[in-house]
Amino acid sequence: MEKIKVGVLGSTGMVGQNYLCLLENHPWFEVSYVAASPQSAGKKYEQAVEKRWHMQNDIPSSIKELVVGDANSLERALNECSFVFSALEMDKEKIKKLESRYAKHIPVVSNASAHRWTNDVPMLIPEINPEHLDIIKEQQKKHKFKGFIVVKPNCTLQSYTIPVGALIKSGYEVNKLVVTTMQALSGAGYPGVSSLDIIDNIVPYISGEEEKNEQEPLKIFGKIEDRKIVPKRIDISCHCNRVPVVDGHTACVSLQFGNKMPELEEIIQIWNNFKSVPQELELPTAPKQPIVYRAEIDRPQPIKDRDIERGMVVSVGRLRECNIFDIRFVALSHNTIRGAAGGAILTAELLYAKGYLK
C-alpha cells in the first residue's frame, strides 16, 4: 500500500513537533510537507525549528531535510499532500479563515480551537462521537468545500469525557459534573510556564480553560439534528489548575446521573469493557482498551499511567460514592498524545477507514 501524503501546518511549534514524531513510521500516513510561519519558510526543517525542538526523540530523519513552506500559501500543500493536520498557532480568526481556505481543496484535521463551535464542523473524540462525521457532507455542501474541516476538542476534557461518554453510551443519563483539573506543563507549549512559576507551586488558573471544559463536552455529546450538531444539556462546573507535572492531565470528577445510578461494580465493568468504532476498525493508533480502571487506591498517577498503550488510554480510578452527587472518580490522560496530536491522528485514521481521505 502506498502511504497517503500528509502536510503539517504549524510544524515547528510543540504540537507540530508531536505530530512529526507520532507520524514517524505510521502505517498509512507519510509526512510529505511541513509548513510554518513566513519567517521559517524556505529553510530546511532542522534549521527552522533549531533550538525550539523539544521532543524527547531527535527530529525524524525523514523530516530534517524537508524545506518548510509558508502556511499562508496553499500552493505547495495542494501539490504535495492529500490532507493536512493543522497545529497552527496564531490569532484565532486568522486560523479560522486559513483552515477554511485549505478546506476548499483538501481535508483539514485541526488541533486549533478556531472552528470548534462552527456548527457544521465535527469536534471529534473518535470513540465517543464518530457519527458526527456525517455532518461533513452538510459542511461541504454549504461552503462548497472539496475538502472539509474536522477538529479535536480541548486536551483536558478528554480525560473525563471518554469515561463519561462510555456511561452515556450504556444508557445512563449524566446531568451534572463538578470537575477539578490538575494540568501538565506541556499543555502550555514551549517555553510555556516559567520554572520560577511552578517549582514548589501550583497556579490555580489557566486562561480560557474552564470555559472550554464547560462547553465543549456539550457539543461532543450532542446529536445531529436539522443538519446541525445540537449540544446536549449537561451542567459542568470546572476548576483548572497548573501543576508541576510534565505530561498528563488529571481530573477529579463528581458526577450526578439524570435517571438511575448504576452500581459502582457495573460502572467499572462498563469502563473496562468499553470499545467503540476505532477498536472495531482496529485503527493503528487506537488503544485496544480505551479506558483502564485502576483498582489500586492511589491511582491513576501521571508518571505511572500516562504512557499506557503509547499514551492513548484514559486511566480511571478511585470510583466511589459522592456525598452530594452520585459518584466521584479520578481520570487521567496524556495531554499531548490522546489530548492532542495522537487524538487527531486517530481521527484521521477514522476518516480514512470511513472513506473520507484518499
103 binds its own copies (CB under 8 A): no
Q: Which of 141, 205, 228, 230 binds its own copies (CB under 8 A)?
A: 205
Query: Which residue number, 171 or 204, has a Cβ lying nearer to its own copies?
Result: 204
Active site residue 81: no
**CB count in 10 Å sphere of residue 138:** 17
| Measured distance CA(262)–CA(256) in Å, rounded | 11
Task: Name residue 238's beta-bridge partners.
Answer: 179
Pairing of strands 69-70, 149-151: unpaired
* 239 near its own copies, rule: CB under 8 A: yes
Determine contact, residues 247/184, Cβ cutoff 8 Å: yes
The neighbouring-strand residues paired with 236 are: 177
- Give catalytic status of residue 155 as yes or no: yes
Told to check if 316 binds its own copies by CB under 8 A, we report no
d(CA 108, CA 231): 23
Pairing between β-strand 249-257 and β-strand 174-183 as defined by DSSP bridges: antiparallel
Give the sign of the dihedral formed by CA 134, CA 221, CA 87, CA 280: negative
254 binds its own copies (CB under 8 A): yes
Given the C-alpha cell 507540530, which residue does it identify? 16
261 binds its own copies (CB under 8 A): no
**Catalytic residue chosen out of the listed positions 115, 132, 249, 334:** 249
In the complex, the smallest distance separating the C-beta of residue 276 from its own copies, rounded to whole angstroms, is: 24
Instruction: Output 66 or 243, the one with its CB closest to its own copies.
Output: 243
Question: With CB under 8 A as the contact rule, which of the stretches 127-135, 165-173, 184-192, 342-350 interacts with its own copies?
Answer: 184-192
Q: Which residues bind its own copies (CB under 8 A)?
A: 54, 56, 176, 178, 180, 182, 185-186, 190-205, 214, 235-237, 239, 241, 243-246, 250, 252, 254, 297-304, 307, 317-318, 322-325, 328, 330
Which amino acids are annotated catalytic? 155, 249
